[in-house]
Amino acid sequence: MNTNLKISNVTKIYPGCVANDDVSLEFNSGKIYALLGENGAGKSTLVKILSGVVIPDEGKIYLNKNILKLNSPSDAKKNDIGMVFQHFNLFETLSVFENLIIDSDEQRENLKEKIDTIMKKYNFSVDLDVPVLNLSAGQKQKVEIIRCLIRSPKVLIMDEPTSVLTEQETSELFLSLKKFSEEGILIIYITHKLKEVMQLCDEVAVMRRGKLVSVSQINNENIESLANKMVGQDLKTIKKKKENTSSEQLIKITNLNFTSEDPFETNLVDINFSLNRGECLGIAGISGNGQSELFQVLSGEIISNKNSIEFNKNFIGDLNPQERREYLMAFSPEDRLEQAAIPQMAIFENVALNNFKSSNFFNNGLINESKIKEHSKKIISEFNVNTDNIDLKSQFLSGGNLQKLIIGRELITSPDLLICFNPTWGLDVGAINYIHETLIKINEQNKSIILISTDTDELLKLSDKISVIHRGKLSKIMNSEDVTSEKLGVLMGGGN
């Protein structure tokens, strides 16, 4: 039986932003649809509307010509719409089977039989009696998918499902999705990854700033054309010139260990690496494998053994971030809004967070506001931050501009080493390009970068050397020419 899902003139307004502006779309079963857009384009809101989490201000939704009333997630379930969210909704301490039976109305025996059939049919192998916390991300996702399949859905919506998966798990997922589609389940695939759209989908709808920009057949598109639609401007591609880097060692990490008291943190085990001047070391990995801890150990937020970090012939393992800055290190953390900057404070106050001695931001314990402001103006013009008001609270900067401000703040001291963690996460493509260009420029000036990132493409583009972090351990360091994204994928999953 064919399924037809129609979204008609849906509008949803949040205070201060129009998340969906008069969006109309039609889907038919037998095809895989991509819903493409940058962060904040309105994809998630639309998905939440389809799954009953959010109620639209205006507009209607039809399933097979019948109007759908979706006032709660259970309405969506009743109407055979299944959802797999980016973040899993599973009880970690319960077994897989317990998780599945919780929201099922079926008898234990029947359910078991049903699950077995599904697993056989799609070649899933998940141990039903194991607690969920012992599963890998890919397996957890399978549990979520099985949960949807039990209800034999007509529509299956996948919200950015690959952000936590390795390359191998991703291709497995794609195979299953194609199979579902062949069996008549309508699949809507939400993503901002262009490659996946090209690989998997038949039709693509692009959203930008709450509006539907285009709907087209995938055969008529390519990565560039989709990127341009998504961003709304033409992009130039940048490439790193591979030059002979110097052989002068800048930083050396020896037997660095970190054991956390917090069970939700990852322990770092025997980290060893060194980096020369002018090089970029990329550290790949699936998020949650110790990247955050590694960043903190390198920045000095977590203090370690003095001799474990040698920087420019000084041992600095026991210094805090401010003291490390005096040795010409700079840091750009992952979380722009909660760590790297304070949204409620003015731009110039955020600049003062990087308080290095020669800046004279604070003399004898007093604030030297004119000095800070002068410095801020310099950063804003040198790093293309799109504002001329340094008294503006930084919450009014877009993500891209805020990141430029942060990178600018860190680079204005011309540090020898910049350590950055997911510097382009959640940014629009224009800003990503700018940040990438800046990072390449630093390398050209014979400065070094440690780039911790979950974005494999970014790492391959910018790094000279690459290593993978998995469960707090670093793989051996490879030259980036010898590395492919498939190889990284294997290592990220813990393989060899």
8 Å CB contact between 295 and 452: yes
Give the count of residues interacting with other proteins (CB under 8 A): 33
8 Å CB contact between 189 and 20: no
- Ramachandran sector of residue 313 (left: φ over 0; alpha: ψ -120 to 50; beta: rest): left
Stretches 72-80, 239-247, 298-306, 377-385: which one binds other proteins (CB under 8 A)?
298-306
Q: Which is nearer to other proteins, 21 or 106 (CB)?
A: 21
Among 26, 57, 113, 338, binds other proteins (CB under 8 A): 338
What distance in Å separates the CA atoms of residue 376 and residue 382, rounded to the nearest whole number? 10
Q: Which is nearer to other proteins, 411 or 429 (CB)?
A: 411
CB of 344 to other proteins, least distance (A): 6
Q: Tokens for 488?
A: 């990284």
Under the binding rule (CB under 8 A), the answer on residue 174 touching other proteins is no
Under the binding rule (CB under 8 A), the answer on residue 340 touching other proteins is yes
Among 233, 396, 445, 479, binds other proteins (CB under 8 A): 396
Q: Which is nearer to other proteins, 15 or 263 (CB)?
A: 15
8 Å CB contact between 208 and 19: no
Under the binding rule (CB under 8 A), the answer on residue 331 touching other proteins is yes
Q: Tokens for 287?
A: 């998020």
Q: Which is nearer to other proteins, 27 or 311 (CB)?
A: 311
Among 138, 300, 317, 399, binds other proteins (CB under 8 A): 300
Under the binding rule (CB under 8 A), the answer on residue 365 touching other proteins is yes
Give the 3-state secondary structure of residue 146: helix
Distance from the Cα of residue 269 to its chain's centroid: 24
Q: Which is nearer to other proteins, 191 or 401 (CB)?
A: 401
Stretches 71-79, 279-287, 365-373, 383-391: which one binds other proteins (CB under 8 A)?
365-373
Q: Tokens for 324?
A: 């490390």
In total, the chain counts a number of residues equal to 496
Under the binding rule (CB under 8 A), the answer on residue 412 touching other proteins is no
Under the binding rule (CB under 8 A), the answer on residue 327 touching other proteins is no
Q: Which is nearer to other proteins, 422 or 475 (CB)?
A: 422
Using CB atoms within 10 Å of the CB of residue 313, give its burial: 0 to 12 exposed, 13 to 18 middle, 19+ buried: exposed
Under the binding rule (CB under 8 A), the answer on residue 9 touching other proteins is no
Phi, psi of 452 (to 5 degrees): -95, 120
What distance in Å separates the CA atoms of residue 242 and residue 454, rounded to the nearest whole number? 22
Under the binding rule (CB under 8 A), the answer on residue 114 touching other proteins is no
In the block, tokens 């077995």 appear at 116
Distance from the Cα of residue 466 to its chain's centroid: 19
CB of 223 to other proteins, least distance (A): 36
241-270: which residues touch other proteins (CB under 8 A)?
Answer: none
Phi, psi of 450 (to 5 degrees): -110, 115
Interface residues toward other proteins, by CB under 8 A: 14-16, 299-301, 320-325, 331, 333, 335, 338-342, 344-345, 349, 352-355, 362, 365-367, 393, 396
